Chains A and B, each alone.
Chain A
Amino acid sequence: MMNALREPQRIAVLGGTSDIALATVRELAAPATHVCLVGRSEGSLESAAASLAGTGVTVSTHRGDARDLASHERMLDDVFASEVDIVIVAAGVLVGGDSAEAIDTAVQSLEVNGTGATSWLLRSHARMQAQGHGVLVVLSSFAVARPRPSNWVYGAGKSMLDFAARGLMSRAHDPVEVVLVRPGFVHTKMTAGRAVAPFAVRPQAVARATARAVRAGGNRVVWVPPIVQHVARLLAVLPMSLVRRLDR
């Protein structure tokens, strides 16, 4: 159970090697918090776990693949062996925009960012509903603001997750809180080597804003940095010709 000071006892990270998620865990965790890291590769999970050393938390690692839908319930049985206060849905792969030549890559990314992550979200939500409480932190993206040539495939996947998260927020009397996070460009291993967009931030900035929202309680949409919310509004009304020109 989360205590009066909103300190969680158990956090699960689905997509447990995400830089943003790990930074968020560092912000949210109390010394006695247990962290479940779920991911595909044992090795990356181990180094993610090692990166949390020194924070006082205990860590367990669990194998889980967002694309392997059949494995989701079994994995969540492990994670929800005791009550989970916060689930961070962080599965994500970044692919280029116009993937007309690489349809397989595009579809695979939709399976991770879209179907897989959404399946994790819905299944975690159901379990939290059963336990009567919980916070879902959903890592969406600024990319959902408007399709752009450079990242609409990524945006398509994230849009599915984003929409489902807002769907959960729309429900009345739901004991589960949803914090939907839409960062702009973040310097992470996922974006390494890519052209840096304006208003770029570090994972720690996303983590701090997310932790603030979790502590405040209730359903929240968090844009990081806050200004990208206004950029998104602007982008939504600009003519596509201009969007195309800006998207470079």
Chain B
Amino acid sequence: MARVALTGWGRTAATLARVERPASPEAVAELVRGCAGPVIARGLGRSYGDCAQTAGGTVIDTTSIHGISGWERGDGVVTCGAGVSLRDLVNQAVPRGWFVPVSPGTSMVTIAGAIAADVHGKNHHRAGSFGAHVRSIDIVDGIGQRRRLLPGTEHFRATVAGMGLTGVIVSAEVALIPVPGAHMRVATRRTADFDETVAALAEADRATYSVAWLDCVATGAGFGRGVVTSGEHAAGTLRGAVLADERIAAPAWVPPGLLNRRTIALFNTAWHRRAPHRRDDEAQSIREFFYPLDAVAGWNRVYGRDGFVQYQFVVPDPALSTLRGILETFTAAGIASFLTVLKRFGAGNDAHLSFPMPGWTLALDIPAGTEGLASHLRWADEQVAGAGGRVYLAKDSRMAPDIVAAMYPQLAQFRESCAQLDPRGVFASDQSRRLRLLRG
């Protein structure tokens, strides 16, 4: 079978692999038994880096494993096939008065991917990350056996946020949350500088959902200005198709360097000016509030041939100054981010490689061709690790092994679980090979 070139959403570091699309857990098991390695699962390819590809190996695309069951029980706990997307789930759940417990920035992720990356959303400060709402996970392990993993067990802790390295997730039971309607009640605050943004975001913690967009280009008095939004589910109709297909598509080809420091600055300034100073009780659809970028198909293409790097890190509450220092340094060095998002996390969970911890998280989208990017990000890694923080593996595409071991102190326990679940060592991604996640 021909090999296919695969990349993450950032469209960097393509490698070739054989891609298989099994339609059932049994087919996955058979595939795994027949592979000598390396094997890795892939969903909708929304992770930014190289975690869902493996050079020269087999990529198991799980998007053909469909099916959502359990609605009849009425308790909001549903069993989803690995390849069910959050979009599918939302579309079936909302008319019944339920919603996904955690929404990342796109609905185009699979349930299996949401678990493997332990995704978080605007409600992290209250609801934690996706793994906290999973009642059981079925995986196919490294010898091709199906196993059910339950919360509180070691293998569950390794599989949530485990980047697919413990096995192929084939289905999971997820606890949904009840919602009174299909709309959101949204409050918006435009802020003038970093301190005001942070204060507004801390205040917005009282809301169920909160997040801030930052103008990463503004310097001087306007440094760190942004737009803080918070939201609540609003009562009202539950009817109507919630998430439709993308309305427009990014062009197939974009001139290299379209997104550069100047155009990014222009966009950031315009976006800040466009926001209302203060607006309360605005009605927004679920798509507008949770998944604004889903309106444009293939928006990652606007970065052109070089692709982009998303850099997301978290630092503990007392280290907010570290976050500020990184943003200041990047701004001064002309490391411009198209979309910059700041969020305050609540408590983390006990999954070995889970990213969130109580503190502040910043996400930056930076064109990969940006001059001096590698050394600036390396410097930022050290700042983050030094402050007791970490960089998100689902976004990572360029870290080095040593720094990851410092950021994720439970790596040894994770490896132990992987060794038990995959004694042959068949599961490996380009990311695990690059970061030596499976062996020191």
Interface residues in chain A, defined as those with a beta carbon under 8 Å from any beta carbon in chain B: 1-7, 9, 30-32, 83, 129-133, 173, 175, 217
Residues on A with beta carbons closer than 8 Å to the beta carbon of B373: 5
Q: A132-B17, A175-B16 are in contact. Are A5 and B398 (CB under 8 A)?
A: yes
Residues on B with beta carbons closer than 8 Å to the beta carbon of A32: 400-402
Cβ < 8 Å to A, chain B residues 388-412: 397-402
**In the complex, what's the smallest C-beta–C-beta distance from B5 to chain A, in angstroms?**
9
Q: Are the CB atoms of A31 and B16 closer together than 8 Å?
A: no
Q: Are the CB atoms of B56 and A4 closer together than 8 Å?
A: no
Q: Which of A3, A30, A130, A132 touches B397 (beta carbons < 8 Å)?
A: A3
Residues on A with beta carbons closer than 8 Å to the beta carbon of B38: 132
Q: Mark B1-42, 1 if CB is under 8 A from A, else 0.
A: 011000000101111110000000000000000000010000
Q: A132-B57, A173-B16 are in contact. Are A4 and B433 (CB under 8 A)?
A: no
**In the complex, what's the smallest C-beta–C-beta distance from A128 to chain B, in angstroms?**
9
- 19 inter-chain pairs at a CB distance below 8 angstroms, sorted by A residue, are A1-B13, A1-B50, A1-B431, A3-B13, A3-B398, A3-B399, A3-B434, A4-B49, A4-B309, A4-B397, A5-B309, A5-B368, A5-B374, A31-B378, A132-B15, A132-B57, A173-B16, A175-B15, A175-B56
* In the complex, residue of chain B having the shortest beta-carbon distance to the beta carbon of A3: B398
Q: Which of A1, A6, A173 touches B430 (beta carbons < 8 Å)?
A: A1
Q: Which of B17, B50, B400, B402 touches A4 (beta carbons < 8 Å)?
A: B50
**In the complex, what's the smallest C-beta–C-beta distance from A2 to chain B, in angstroms?**
6
**In the complex, what's the smallest C-beta–C-beta distance from B159 to chain A, in angstroms?**
23
Check if B110 is an interface residue, CB within 8 A of chain A: no
Residues on B with beta carbons closer than 8 Å to the beta carbon of A9: 400, 434
Q: Are the CB atoms of B56 and A130 closer together than 8 Å?
A: yes
Classify chain B's interface size: 20 to 34
**In the complex, what's the smallest C-beta–C-beta distance from A131 to chain B, in angstroms?**
6
In the complex, A1→B2 CA distance in Å? 22
Check if B54 is an interface residue, CB within 8 A of chain A: yes
Residues on A with beta carbons closer than 8 Å to the beta carbon of B264: none
In the complex, A43→B78 CA distance in Å? 68
Q: Which of A5, A7, A30, A131 touches B55 (beta carbons < 8 Å)?
A: A131
Interface residues in chain B, defined as those with a beta carbon under 8 Å from any beta carbon in chain A: 2-3, 10, 12-17, 38, 49-50, 54-57, 307, 309, 368, 373-374, 378, 397-402, 430-431, 433-434
In the complex, A153→B414 CA distance in Å? 58
A-B contact count (CB 8 A): 68
**In the complex, what's the smallest C-beta–C-beta distance from B81 to chain A, in angstroms?**
29
* In the complex, residue of chain A having the shortest beta-carbon distance to the beta carbon of B3: A173
* In the complex, residue of chain B having the shortest beta-carbon distance to the beta carbon of A132: B56
Q: Are the CB atoms of B374 and A30 closer together than 8 Å?
A: yes
**In the complex, what's the smallest C-beta–C-beta distance from B381 to chain A, in angstroms?**
11
* In the complex, residue of chain A having the shortest beta-carbon distance to the beta carbon of B374: A5
Residues on A with beta carbons closer than 8 Å to the beta carbon of B307: 4
Residues on B with beta carbons closer than 8 Å to the beta carbon of A2: 13
Q: Which of B2, B16, B309 touches A132 (beta carbons < 8 Å)?
A: B16
Residues on B with beta carbons closer than 8 Å to the beta carbon of A173: 2-3, 16
* In the complex, residue of chain A having the shortest beta-carbon distance to the beta carbon of B373: A5
Q: Find the residue from A5, A9, A32, A83 having the highest chain B CB count within 10 A.
A: A5
* In the complex, residue of chain A having the shortest beta-carbon distance to the beta carbon of B308: A4
**In the complex, what's the smallest C-beta–C-beta distance from A186 to chain B, in angstroms?**
27
In the complex, A189→B308 CA distance in Å? 41
In the complex, A7→B397 CA distance in Å? 11
Residues on A with beta carbons closer than 8 Å to the beta carbon of B50: 1, 3-4
In the complex, A3→B378 CA distance in Å? 13
Residues on B with beta carbons closer than 8 Å to the beta carbon of A129: 56
* In the complex, residue of chain A having the shortest beta-carbon distance to the beta carbon of B309: A4
Q: A30-B374, A173-B16 are in contact. Are A133 and B55 (CB under 8 A)?
A: yes
**In the complex, what's the smallest C-beta–C-beta distance from A57 to chain B, in angstroms?**
12
* In the complex, residue of chain B having the shortest beta-carbon distance to the beta carbon of A9: B434
In the complex, A1→B50 CA distance in Å? 10
Q: Are the CB atoms of B398 and A7 closer together than 8 Å?
A: yes
Residues on B with beta carbons closer than 8 Å to the beta carbon of A7: 374, 398
* In the complex, residue of chain A having the shortest beta-carbon distance to the beta carbon of B430: A1
Given contacts A3-B13, A5-B374, A9-B400, 9 further A-B contacts (CB under 8 A): A1-B13, A1-B55, A3-B50, A4-B307, A4-B368, A4-B398, A132-B17, A133-B56, A173-B2
In the complex, A133→B16 CA distance in Å? 8
* In the complex, residue of chain B having the shortest beta-carbon distance to the beta carbon of A129: B56
* In the complex, residue of chain B having the shortest beta-carbon distance to the beta carbon of A85: B434
In the complex, A5→B368 CA distance in Å? 7
Q: Which of A5, A31, A132, A217 touches B54 (beta carbons < 8 Å)?
A: A132
Q: Find the residue from A2, A30, A129, A131 having the highest chain B CB count within 10 A.
A: A2
Q: Are the CB atoms of A83 and B433 closer together than 8 Å?
A: yes
**In the complex, what's the smallest C-beta–C-beta distance from A222 to chain B, in angstroms?**
19
In the complex, A245→B351 CA distance in Å? 75
**In the complex, what's the smallest C-beta–C-beta distance from A218 to chain B, in angstroms?**
10
Q: Which of B16, B402, B434 touches A1 (beta carbons < 8 Å)?
A: B434
Q: Are the CB atoms of B433 and A1 closer together than 8 Å?
A: yes
Counting from the closest, the 3 A-B pairs by CB-CB distance are A132-B56, A132-B55, A4-B397
Residues on A with beta carbons closer than 8 Å to the beta carbon of B434: 1, 3, 9
Q: A32-B402, A175-B3 are in contact. Are A4 and B12 (CB under 8 A)?
A: yes
In the complex, A2→B307 CA distance in Å? 15
Q: Are the CB atoms of B10 and A4 closer together than 8 Å?
A: yes
In the complex, A31→B375 CA distance in Å? 9
Residues on A with beta carbons closer than 8 Å to the beta carbon of B12: 4-5
In the complex, A32→B434 CA distance in Å? 12
